[in-house]
Amino acid sequence: MSGKAAARIVGALALGFYSGLVLAAADPHQLNLPEPQSVIAQQIYDMHTMLLWICLAIFVGVFGVMFYSVLKHRKSLDYPAANFHHSTTVEIIWTIIPIFILVGMAYPATKTVIAMKDTSSPDITIKATGYQWKWGYDYLTGEGEGISFLSNLATPKAQIENAAPKGENYLLEVDNRLVVPVGKKVRILLTANDVIHAWWVPALGVKQDAIPGFIRDVWFTVEKPGTYRGQCAELCGKEHGFMPIVVEAVTPEQYAQWVGEQKTKLAAATVDVNKEFTMDEL
């Protein structure tokens, strides 16, 4: 390899690295996970970051030695050819080091997976049912017990058909949001009515398949008020991309107010239905 060829390779690598930095500065979420908003999401984020640094260190070490060897011992420098023989010591070293690296990576990963599966002692339990193509929510325990509603895509049809400019939350807005209080452990029971769906909200660190005939569960505790968006992450039919998930985390006081409003609406709807049945009987 000539000196000019080596310079071109180094230049290409530098340009690629610089381009990555520019993209990261423009929109860091393009190259990373979204900002974590729950305990589990924070653990996932921290573990992801740690593993990336480990991978970067391995990359720099391996390719650093490789490029040094290629450039330092190339023929154009009149470096004499040599016969290499195996070294038991080197082979033991490069077997033991990866074992320690893998164990170091497996320990935090195992802790996080165990924490993700610990759905015991929730403050609120909500059943989420996947349909083609919407979500149904039933509040089973807590203040909101008895509240049920469907959550449908709210993006205007004109935007979908390119007859109007795309909105800020294009394909990520719903008519009825899943409302939860901050600081409370929320357990989501997941199932489906037709095909396999998946309930995925990246900022909360939750993703679980919803399978017909089975009950799966997942949990989260939102740390601060806000709106957190996700989508079905399992190919479930022609409108798979049209069943978003929107979780609205509010203060306990706002949650109590929302529960009161929902129960008032439910009571009013029940009265209307009873009136209709009475009129039909007459």
pLDDT of residue 122 exceeding 90: yes
Q: Which residues contact 72 (CB under 8 A, 6 or more apart)?
A: 79
Q: Across all residues in the chain, what is the average pLDDT? A: 86
Break the chain into its structural domains and give their ranges: 33-117, 124-276
DSSP string, 149-192: EEE-B-S-HHHHTTSSPPPTTTT--BSS-EEEETTS-EEEEEEE
Superfamily of domain 124-276: Cupredoxins -  blue copper proteins (2.60.40.420)
pLDDT (0 to 100) of residue 82: 74
The answer to whether domain 33-117 and domain 124-276 are alike in fold is no
Q: Mind listing the pLDDT tens digit for each residue in 134-156?
A: 999 999 998 889 999 999 999 99
- 33-117 CATH, one of 3.40.50.300, 1.10.287.90, 2.30.40.10, 3.30.930.10: 1.10.287.90
pLDDT (0 to 100) of residue 27: 53
Q: Does residue 157 contact residue 217 with C-beta atoms inside 8 Å? A: no
Of the given ranges (13-17, 35-39, 56-60, 171-175), which has the lowest mean pLDDT? 13-17
Across residues 108-118, what is the average pLDDT? Answer: 91
Report how far residue 136's alpha carbon sits from residue 123's, in angstroms, rounded to the nearest whole number. 20
Report how far residue 272's alpha carbon sits from residue 281's, in angstroms, rounded to the nearest whole number. 14
pLDDT (0 to 100) of residue 226: 94
pLDDT (0 to 100) of residue 179: 97
Q: Mind listing the pLDDT tens digit for each residue in 169-212?
A: 999 999 999 999 999 999 999 999 999 999 999 999 999 999 99
pLDDT of residue 83 exceeding 80: no
pLDDT (0 to 100) of residue 247: 97
